[in-house]
Structure 1
Amino acid sequence: MYRYDEFDHDFVQARVAEFSDQVQRRLAGEITEDQFRPLRLMNGVYLQLHAYMLRIAVPYGTLNGKQLRMLGHIARKYDKGYGHFTTRQNIQFNWPALSDIPAILADLASVEMHAIQTSGNCIRNVTADHFAGAAADEVADPRPYAEILRQWSSVHPEFSFLPRKFKIAVTGAERDRAAIQTHDIGLHLRKNAAGELGFAVYIGGGQGRTPMVARKIRDFLPEADLLSYCTAILRVYNLYGRRDNKYKARIKILVHETGVEEITRQIEAEWQELKDAQLKLPEADI
């Protein structure tokens, strides 16, 4: 699994300090709940009926022992002794006091975890097969690609205020245990006839009040083009996705209303402008 470098440590700790100040201002009544809402959502904090809820990212479902023990400590000290693992490989604590959340985030930062982009209209936690790296039917381990996507999407300046939340899943196995066709982008690692590794690309899946199965828009995308193609998809969605009705703002609605052929044409046209630029993955990164 990826280990933080100096930049990661500094960035996460700075976010903890920033949010701590915002919480203190909210508790002091210096800002209203409406003013606080976009600030807390950027840090994974929801307001439920009776309490705040904190959602913590577990990138592609991978935890080490130190991180798991820290989650247990947080559950015992700040919640009711338990948390809820979600279907998208996050963990939620449903009863923390708002005044305690900065301390929770500081504890998480000490074990290289955070709650950034676990809420809000941005690219959420990237998920993968829970048997990744050990599955007998695996063409390739999806976790390195999920990590590349995680780093690319973190606080992305172009995609931090999308029409609606955006979810990406990656699998490298024959059996789709990551449920990629219930995601906004689903990526299925496969090999072409020449034995080269790449992805089948799906878009427009989702559950909720309007469940839809994602549609395949590319049978094979070379692995080096992963970021440029995802950028093309998100640019088309960011431009044409609805912002007038949150129930019709997901990319699945855009695919349904535009038609898969037309939206594929738009994505491919955008990708032609991107594919040979700086977003091509170097062999060393892959």
Structure 2
Amino acid sequence: MLQEHNFIIKEETGRLDKVLTELLPKITRSHIQQWIKEGNVLINGEQLKPNYKVQAGDAISVIEPELVSLEVLAENIPIEIVYQDEDVVVVNKAQGMVVHPSAGHQTGTLVHALMYHINDLSGINGTIRPGIVHRIDKDTSGLLMVAKNDVAHEKLAAQLKDKTSVREYIALVHGVIPHEKGTIDAPLGRSKIDRKKQDIIDGGREAVTHFTVLERFKDFTLVSLKLETGRTHQIRVHMKYIGYPLAGDPIYGPRKTLEGKGQFLHAQVLGFKHPTTDEFLTFEAPLPQLFEDTLTKLRDE
């Protein structure tokens, strides 16, 4: 269960992260900084940066995420391994599979499967997320890169941060997009109305999505999307923001419009520089059968 802390600042001044470390002495400064970046800290209702100078009279609200302590055991769950060597694994994740354990998903995740099928995984993200360099949502299918050691992990994560890796998605969205291409540059943060959702937030984290129309149907459009950044729910929120929410999206889109198991979103292309050889590797995963069948039906309408 999420825990909320509320403070009215009387005399404390200084950097936001430093002030909160003093107010919450059992929480490390790195954890505080991560909560601020994730939108779990609001100052007078606004999402600000860790170096914000706290003023007397400021009202600070802190949502403390539930800390999960789990013993993650290997599980013999089938997964599609697209590529593997001594440093890297590329997996084509099925729709419906959670990437790593959390409070609501303590078994059956990709991490549990990786621990069964892969001998070595990086330990940078601890016991809950071994090897996990980046995530995709439970109901998003497609390609993920996994690190088998810490050196590889750091190099792959640096590519994500420097925007040198390639991530391309295919999505089916509501509505008929009239133009061929577009770029959505809108900052994301945790919704002030529903803390489980992301939203377009002034002062939020930079988020940039490029899209290209691939095919138009009567009431839907098939698009290709390239990410410059990889924020939580980025594609789903950005496409809703411009008026073309993802088909099947249970959170950001109209409900029960097409038969499916969640949003029609597939991580189709993944490219990155190999952490040891420096060779640029590119992988492509075909659309899941349900996605293909849905497109066939739409073409026949």
TM-score calculated relative to the size of structure 2: 0.28
Larger Rg: 2
Instruction: Between the two structures, name the one with larger relative contact order (CA 8 Å, sep ≥ 6).
Output: 2
- Greater fraction helix: 1
- Greater fraction strand: 2
